Chains A and B, each alone.
Chain A
Amino acid sequence: EIVLTQSPGTLSLSPGERVTLSCRASQTVSNRNYLAWYQQKPGQAPRLLIYEASYRASGIPDRFSGSGSGTDFTLTISTLEPEDFAVYYCQQYGRSPWTFGQGTKVEIK
């Protein structure tokens, strides 16, 4: 199975800062870059932010962007808003079994 490694584990930041989260796969995800990013807040289900590595899901603000291909992917939040403090997961859905990274927590500094 494809192992996804997210870094860092935790980020302590202030509103207004730029955020860059990394997701590295143990092998190529797929030729369609089937890599998604999710945001999860306490007590809530994950919310899809990005699919196919770089496409924003419906209703997602344009401060969220995704990039990368092959084995290295990045989620960027251009300007951190108070509601963005959460845990972020990457997930590959190109090769079964689908797998998730262990998550990056973005917390208030």
Chain B
Amino acid sequence: QVQLQESGPGLVKPSETLSLTCTVSGGPVTSGSHYWSWVRQPPGKGLEWIGNIFYNGNTDYNPSLKGRISISIDTSKNTFFLKVNSVTAADTAVYYCARDGYKGLDYWGPGTLVSISS
């Protein structure tokens, strides 16, 4: 059973960089059948796909966030990462990591709330 777990600071100051880690267990991130995605959800609002990464490092980002986001992967640690630069209050959200493939987003982490505030 694949499991994902997000980790990182719960509070980030405006204009700084939000950094999150997603640790995957129960299956390798090097699966050639899956990408690894980040999704976020502002409090009380809907879901927004941020972007994804393949095990070889190929990435695809949502243009609405392009220029501010970076997704990377460490196959040796079965882990992938999200960085969002120059954050504002609008980046306050629950951030989820998920496995991404022909079945859509089939496994999700529990999510982590990141608040942007001074």
Chain A, interface size: which category? 20 to 34
CA A5 – CA B11 in complex, angstroms?
33
Count CB-based A-B contacts (< 8 Å): 63
Chain B residues contacting A48 (CB-CB under 8 Å) are: 103-106
Is A51 in contact with B110, judged by CB distance below 8 angstroms? no
Please tell me the number of chain B residues within 8 Å of chain A, measured between CB atoms: 22
Contact B60 A100 (CB under 8 A): no
Report how far A107 CA is from B106 CA in the complex, Å: 25
- Chain B residue numbers with a CB within 8 Å of A97 are 49, 51, 60-64
Chain A contacts to B: CB under 8 angstroms? 1, 32, 34, 36, 38, 44-48, 51-52, 55, 57, 89, 91, 93, 96-103
Please list the residues of chain B having a beta carbon within 8 angstroms of any beta carbon in chain A: 37, 46-49, 51, 60-64, 96, 100, 102-106, 108-111
